[in-house]
Chain A
Amino acid sequence: MSNLEQVDEKLLSEVSDSLENTFKGAYNIRKNGKGIERKITENINIVTKKDVSGIDIYIKENTNWEFVHIPVIITQSGLKDVVYNDFYVGKNAKVIIIAGCGIHNECSSDSEHNGVHRFFLEEGAYVKYYEKHYGEGDGTGKRILNPVTEVHLKDGATMEMDSVQIKGVDSTERITRGVLEDNTNFVVTEKIMTHGEQFAKTNFEVELNGENASTHVTSRSVATQNSVQEFKSNVIGNAKCFGHVECDAILKDSGKVIAIPKIIANSVEANLIHEAAIGKIAGEQLIKLMTLGLTEKEAEEQVINGFLK
C-alpha cells in the first residue's frame, strides 16, 4: 500500500478490521475524493463510473463468499466528497462487502462524505454488508457523513446490513431504502453512539412488495451529553409479508432521542411490528455489576458496550 501514510492506515484500520491480512478479494480504496488503489478478482470486477464520481462493482453469478472492500478515507479538511457506488450481484452469488469511511479533520473547515450505495441483488443472491463510520482529529471543522443505501432484492435474495458509528462523527443523516420482491429478507442492524453536540438522523424506508418478503430492522443507540438522535422508519407491507422494526435507545446526561415509527399495511396478509424503547440505563443493571465489584462508571461502560456490541 505504497500510497498510504500513517494517518491513512489508522483510519483504514478503524473502518475495516482486516488491514493486517490486507484485503482478501477485491478492493477499491478512495482517498480525498479519488480512487488510489484497486484490485479485482476473477469473479469481481470494479469499473470507474464515467458520468459521476464512483464505481460500479460487478459480482458474477454463483460467486461463493468473496470479499469486496471499499474503504474511503478523508484527510483533507474542507473536502466535500460525493460518491456513487453501484453493486450488481449476480444470481446465487454470495459476498461480504465492507464499506467504511474514516475522516481525519485537523482544521477548521468541515469535511463531508456523502456516499450513495446501491445494491441490485439478482435471484438467490446473498450479501452481508458492513459499514463503519469513524471520525477523528482535533480541528474545529465538522466531520459530516451522509450515507444513502438503496437495496433492491429479487426473488430469494437476502441482504444483511450492519452499520456502526461509534465515534467522532459530528453530523450524520442516513437514508436506507429497500424494495423487496418475493421470498426476500432484508436485515438491518444499526448501532450509533453520539457525544457532545453531535447529531444523527436515520431514515428507513422499506417496501415489502413480494409474497413472503420480510425485513428486520434493529437500531440500538446511545445518546450522551448534548447529542441528539432521530430515528424514523417507514415499513410498507403490500403483500403477505413480515416486518419488524425495533428501536432501542439509552439516554445519558442531556442526550435526546426522537423515534418516529410508521408502519403501513396495504394487504390484509401483511404482518408488521414496531417496537421502540427509550430510557436511561436500568438502575438494577448497574447495581448487579457493582455487586460484582465494578464501580458505577465501569458498570455503565459495561452496560453500554454490551448494548452496542
Chain B
Amino acid sequence: MLELQDICFTRENKKILNHIDLRLEDNQFIVITGPNGSGKSTLAKVIMGIEKQDSGQVILDGQYISNKSIDERANLGMSFAFQQPVKFKGITVYDLLKISAKKKINRKEACDILAKVGLCAKEYLDREVNNSLSGGELKRIEIATVALRKAKLTIFDEPEAGIDLWSFQNLIKVFEDIRKEIPGTTIIISHQERILNIADKIILMKEGKIKKIGSKEELLPEVLGKKNKPKCCKLGGDTLE
C-alpha cells in the first residue's frame, strides 16, 4: 500500500532523512518510535506532502504521488494528525468536524464523535479552535477530526503528547477502536509503551535512518530496555530527554 523509496531530506547541512526505504502492508498498525530529532515528524510530513523530499519516491497503492499536493493525497485516502494542533480564529470545533466528515453531520453525530475522545460534546461544539482550549483539548479534537475521516492511511504524530493520565487511558481505547473499525493502515509516532504494545510492527528511527523494523516481540526489548533507551516520557508532559 505505502512504499517509500530512497527518501532524502537535508536542511542546513543536516541529513534529516537519510536514504529511507520502507514498505508497509495494508491494514496494519504501525508505530514509529525513536529519539527526539531522529526525523519521525519529517518522515510523516513527507508522506502527507507537507514537506517535500529532496529525492526519492512516495508510492501509494502503486501510484507515484511525490508530485501530488496535500489535498490530493488527502482525497486519495490519507489523513494526518498534527503533533502540534493548528489553531484558528472563528472556526469552531463543529465547523472542523463538518469539514473533516465531508458530508452533512448533525450535532448529535458530531457529539458522538467528540465523546469518543472523551470530550463532553455539547459544551465543545461551538467553541472556537483557539487558545481558549487547553493543549489536551486541542489534541483530542485533532485526533477526533482525523479519526473521523476513516482514511486508508492515517498518521498520528505523538497523539499522547499533552494528554493527561485520565484521557490517556481513553486514548488507548480510541486507538484500539480505530484498529478494529477502520479498515486501513495506521501509523502512529509514539514513545508510549501502551501504544507500542498494540503495534503489528514497530519502526525504530535514529539520526534520519530506520535503524530497525520488526514485530513488537522483536523490538520491544530493545526499545524499552536499557540499551538505546528512547526518550522516555512523562504522561501529560512533553517528552523528556
Contact = CB atoms under 8 A, between A and B. Distances in A.
Interface of A: 220, 248, 282, 284-285, 287-296, 299, 302-303, 305-309
19 contacts: A287-B86, A288-B82, A288-B86, A289-B99, A291-B78, A291-B79, A293-B74, A293-B102, A293-B149, A294-B71, A299-B71, A302-B91, A302-B99, A305-B90, A306-B88, A306-B89, A307-B89, A307-B90, A308-B90
Nearest to A250: B89
Contacts of A294: 71, 99
Contacts of A295: 71
A292 B50 contact: no
A164 to B, nearest CB: 13
A219 to B, nearest CB: 13
B145 A292 contact: yes
B70 interface: yes
B156 interface: no
Interface of B: 48, 50, 69-71, 74-75, 78-80, 82, 86, 88-92, 95-96, 99-100, 102, 145, 149
A248 B102 CA distance: 30
Contacts of B75: 293
Contacts, number: 58
B49 to A, nearest CB: 9
A285 B71 contact: no
Max chain A Cβ within 10 angstroms of own Cβ: one of B48, B91, B102: B91
B141 to A, nearest CB: 11
Nearest to B86: A288
Nearest to B90: A306
Nearest 8 interchain pairs by C-beta: A306-B90, A306-B91, A288-B86, A290-B70, A293-B74, A290-B71, A291-B80, A307-B90
Contacts of B80: 291
Contact of B69 (A220, A288, A290, A308): A290
A309 B88 CA distance: 12
Contact of A296 (B50, B71, B102): B71
Contacts of B69: 290, 296
Contact of B91 (A284, A293, A303): A303
B28 to A, nearest CB: 21
B198 to A, nearest CB: 24
Contact of A292 (B74, B90, B92): B74
Given A287-B86, A306-B89, 18 more contacts: A220-B90, A282-B86, A285-B88, A287-B70, A290-B70, A290-B71, A290-B74, A291-B50, A292-B74, A292-B96, A292-B100, A293-B74, A293-B75, A293-B102, A296-B69, A296-B71, A303-B88, A306-B95
Contacts of B100: 292
Contacts of B74: 290-293
Contacts of B48: 291
A190 B78 CA distance: 39
Contacts of B79: 291
A305 B82 CA distance: 23
A277 to B, nearest CB: 10
A189 B46 CA distance: 41
Contacts of A296: 69, 71
